[in-house]
Amino acid sequence: MRSTLILTGTLFAFSLAFAAPAPDAKFDVVELKDKYNHKLSERFHNTEGDDNVLPIDKGKKKLGDVEFKIADGVIQLGSTMVPDDPEKVEGIKVGQKFVKLHILHACGYGGGTNVEGTPGHVPDDTTIGEYKVLYDDKTTATIPIVYGQDVRDWWYLEGEKETSRAKVVWKGENEQAKKLKCGVRLYMTTWKNPKPDKKVVSINYIGRKNDTPAAPFCVAITVENE
């Protein structure tokens, strides 16, 4: 019985993170601009100087074989280290059926220079937030955000582990991170919709502002149909 449960959990994790796009996949961007609360060119988090920015090129681009639209902003949630940002952002409009959901995201704090014993450190397997999917039949589904599985700190040191369930699809650098010998990176989570025949009305993005230093941020969302 126990081995069956372990196998079931393993298959679930596989379907959540590694369901690769079909060769003839059709992608549709979820528009986030009405929900952005932080520009790419603005300083991220509570760091010194104004050069801790997200240096990803804007426009449509393919990352991890998925088409994303990178605009001049992100949805930034708060944390114990980023108290001025919200705990949740609700009502991200979707308005369609889909087979898979692809999320380009990361978090501030947790790893990189936030080593164990410092205020900004986050242990692996800590739940730091979720995406709540709302269907038109009033049912919901939850996509967890677990540190070390779905995201890590967007700052990383050479040799630092990647995520176990999501995958790194973009790497870059900014001047502030370089000073501390870090790079920056983003992660892609892919979620297979358990109800592809139901229309998704919207998504709520929810953090754990009072419980963890990790401050999740979402850069882009794309839905996929085959």
Query: Rounded to whole angstroms, how far apart are CA atoms 104 and 86?
Result: 19
Residue 217 · residue 108 · CB < 8 Å:
yes
Q: How far is CA 157 from CA 45, 152, 169, 182, 197, in A?
A: 18, 12, 16, 5, 43
- Collapsing DSSP to helix, strand or coil, 12 comes out as helix
The answer to whether 17 and 189 have CB atoms below 8 angstroms apart is: yes
pLDDT per residue as tens, the chain (226 positions): 444 433 344 444 444 544 566 666 899 999 999 999 999 999 999 888 799 999 999 999 999 999 999 999 999 999 999 999 999 999 999 999 999 999 999 999 999 999 999 999 999 999 999 999 999 999 999 999 999 999 999 999 999 999 999 999 999 999 999 999 999 999 999 999 999 999 999 999 999 999 999 999 999 999 999 8
C-beta neighbour count of 200 within 10 angstroms? 22
Residue 203's CB: how many other CB atoms inside 10 A?
26
- Judging by beta carbons within 10 Å of its beta carbon (0-12, 13-18, 19+), is residue 56 exposed, middle or buried? buried
pLDDT digits (tens, 9 = 90+) for 81-114: 999 999 999 999 999 999 999 999 999 999 999 9
Contact at 8 Å (CB) between 150 and 163?
Answer: yes
Cβ count near 125 (within 10 Å): 10
Q: Where are the domains of the chain?
A: 2-225
Question: Is residue 212 a contact partner of residue 82, using CB atoms and an 8 Å limit?
Answer: no
Cα–Cα dist 188/180, whole Å: 25
The separation between the first and the last C-alpha atoms of the chain, rounded to the nearest angstrom, is 35
Please tell me what DSSP assigns to residue 49: S
Distance CA 126, CA 121 (A): 11
Beta strands in the chain (DSSP E): 26-30, 59-63, 66-70, 75-76, 88-96, 100-108, 127-135, 140-146, 155-157, 167-172, 182-192, 200-207, 215-225
